[in-house]
Structure 1
């Protein structure tokens, strides 16, 4: 005897949907699951029955093969639900980043003469697999000639839906941090180390950040900021090329070079990410000190240029 399954309460159903959303599952592809094990077994049987040296078309004998058998994959019956959806899922090209792909990324990024061209080039770049699961490209926003440039880690769910960086809770908190030292959000340039949201808001892998590095470097070159701020540990490690923890690295001024010309080596500093500060309010005192140091640096540069 099988016990009857009671339906979920509205609260439990809402909690389950929220859990799927936080895990990065925000769309249904089919009403019925696919039996990957059966498909793999059918493909293995097909390869086993395939002759090592296929006969030529002239000498090939006509053999009746029942529809749906492993030897006739083109007529293989689709799982229930998949046939109703219009056939098998389309094959998606998954890139494996290597030195050739990275070199191609450098060449593509270097060819962009403006931020608009860089965005278009990045939108057509297919060697980063994050684009397969993201809803939109989150390129960056703010003043294209800003004195201050902020670099975060990766887009979150809200950023993925909006197509702009730092628009969720952490973005709203970042706006308040900037306002505290007299800066408006639209006066600074904001972007991330990778322009696509990783599935489930996980951290980008080293391969993913490396394949996107040329585009971020070109982004900085085109903006030519006077000060660079890395928000969070992943951003600091990628941009500043360090392995120190963020709590030891934050608040210390260093330099970043995006060229060999005058003005192409600029002050840079790591700060705690706004999302981390929302989880650890006690660390806000460190962020306030860093903000005051940032304001002092910007004021000194403005006075020197005047």
Structure 2
């Protein structure tokens, strides 16, 4: 898929900075940016994409979903309502990776559908894209009870499937949303403030961390900061 990226004009900032209306029964933002928990990502292969390809193998993502099945690989299976696999284009050049499903996502089986998801949709639209043109997933696929942070054993159970999703999609850029996603993917304990705004190498894929939309709902002054990060991604997608 070729990304249709709009010019990084100042006017598009308004799409991000507009207030997000509250919808009934939406989960409250999670405290993504305050965690100091040690995050140990599961060991990943040294080369994520051993074979270059212009397109996603037919059926690759459905095959990953089939492999997950009715997952019982960690304790979250006892409290979840739905496995939240991911959504979007299987040939996306841009992939967003968040932390974990919240209450709305658990109920609907789709990532980023609550208040933070509404803001993410506006961010994507401000980039000249749609949710259907990108791919959206999370570090883990089941909601942790009371929206607590995912635990190492849960990450270890889910990480192989996120890697397979990334390998199937083969995005040009990954945008890690928030502290937890960035720390887990980059295997670091650096704060998001130190990681954001610049590209990192993730198994040959360019990865740019930025603040999570839930954090922006609590700290709207940071929306301009995130817009600067998104403009860097837009420029990279044009190359």
For normalisation by structure 2, the TM-score amounts to: 0.74
**1:236 alignment partner, one of 164, 171, 182:** 182
Task: Spell out the pairing of 1:49-198 with structure 2 (5 A cutoff).
Answer: 114-198=60-144
Determine helix, strand or coil for the equivalent of 1:294: helix
More off after superposition, 116-125 vs 238-247: 116-125
**Structure 2 gap segments, 5+ residues each:** 1-24, 29-41, 44-58
Q: CA deviation at 1:124?
A: 3.3
Verify the 8 A CA contact 1:138 1:164 in the aligned structure 2: yes
More off after superposition, 210-219 vs 149-158: 210-219
Q: CA deviation at 1:217?
A: 0.7
Provide the aligned C-alpha RMSD in A. 1.8
Verify the 8 A CA contact 1:152 1:232 in the aligned structure 2: yes
How many residues are treated as equivalent by the alignment?
186
Q: CA deviation at 1:123?
A: 2.5
The alignment status of 1:289 with 2:228, answered yes or no, reads yes
* Relative contact order higher in (CA < 8 Å, ≥ 6 apart): 2
Q: Deviations over 1:72-100 (max 9, x none)?
A: xxxxxxxxxxxxxxxxxxxxxxxxxxxxx
Q: CA deviation at 1:284?
A: 1.1
Q: CA deviation at 1:291?
A: 1.0
Verify the 8 A CA contact 1:170 1:278 in the aligned structure 2: yes
Looking at structure 1, the residues matched to 121 and 108 of structure 2 have their Cα atoms a distance apart, in angstroms, of 17
The residue that corresponds to 2:215 in the other structure is 276
Larger Rg: 1
More off after superposition, 206-215 vs 118-127: 118-127
